[in-house]
Amino acid sequence: MHAPEPVGSVTYEVELDARGSTGRLLRRCEALEARGDGPCWEVVFGRQAACERCPLRTRPAEGRVSGVLASPDDTFSATLLTAEVRGCSAVVTATRVDDGAVSELLEVRLDHLARRAKLTGREREVLSLMLLGRSLAEMGTAVGITARTAKYHQAKVLRKLGADSRFDLLRLLM
């Protein structure tokens, strides 16, 4: 049985054992009623085995946990899982996030970093171009400055963000 991944959000409850989720559905939303019985990875996500990055794979402590599951196909999408662990069960909300939403999340993260580091508007532009792998000449052309000025802004961005290199910027995005 191959059920498509949820579109939008679905909420369901799964049973937990000593190691984590058995995946047995205890309660499901209306959108899952017609998908039959079985473990959550099969009924909700149409997978043959438990999801590798499921935050419930190892028995989490009481409280809220979250994780991101990659799409099982070749599309660039993901499913954000948030779960409230309550004793021997967890109430899980799975929200499908497509390419556009992932891009928006990245922009929000970049805006947060820029505000925290007090980057100027020009430095924020240069940061975006740096993360796209643009050369100094390409950055200069894109924002209407010389390559030398782009290099100056790049150095300021790295210093303000506390990064050692362009590659080190990726660490800040995580």
CATH class of the domain whose range is 100-173: mainly alpha
Which distant-in-sequence residues (6+ apart) come within 8 Å of 116 by Cβ?
none
pTM: 0.60
Residue 17, pLDDT above cutoff 90: no
Q: How far apart are CA 4 and CA 6, in angstroms?
A: 6
What confidence score (pLDDT) does residue 21 get?
63
Cβ atoms within 10 Å of 151's Cβ, excluding its own: 16
100-115 average pLDDT score: 87
Residue 62 has pLDDT above 70, yes or no: yes
Judge whether residue 6 has pLDDT over 50: no
